[in-house]
Structure 1
């Protein structure tokens, strides 16, 4: 979660989990890009999934 992010800077207009419009309180940074979600639950689910994926990849190196 990052402060100062704006919905207009997001790479998406719809939540990748639900397909609903993104919300200003549900933004995060991923690879230096703003990604929006419809609610904080979807955002947190994304951050958890990315963390698990990146951890798995780092073990392969």
Structure 2
């Protein structure tokens, strides 16, 4: 995956740990660059958001018609 640039990050601290953001641990979510303290926190966030987004889609369209 092509990772976003640090200049666009919207947060200074990791949402999971509260530690400072690392340029090596950025992701894009809903049009924003979100930073994390480590790739592990970033990957945890990406996995969680994929799961939540899939559940929301299923609830919004139980027949699977998207």
Please tell me whether Structure 1 or Structure 2 has the larger radius of gyration of its CA atoms: 2
Any gaps of 5 or more consecutive residues in structure 1? none
Any gaps of 5 or more consecutive residues in structure 2? 61-66
Q: How many residues align?
A: 60
RMSD of aligned C-alpha atoms? Answer: 1.1
Moved over 3 A (4+): none
> TM-score if structure 2 supplies the norm length?
0.84
Q: Counterparts of 2:48 and 2:33 in 1: how far apart (Å)?
A: 16
Q: Deviations over 1:1-59 (max 9, x none)?
A: 533x2222111000000000111110000001100000000000000000110010011
> TM-score if structure 1 supplies the norm length?
0.90
Could you say what secondary structure the match of 1:42 adopts? helix
Which has the larger share of strand?
2
The 5 Å alignment of 1:42-61 reads 42-61=41-60
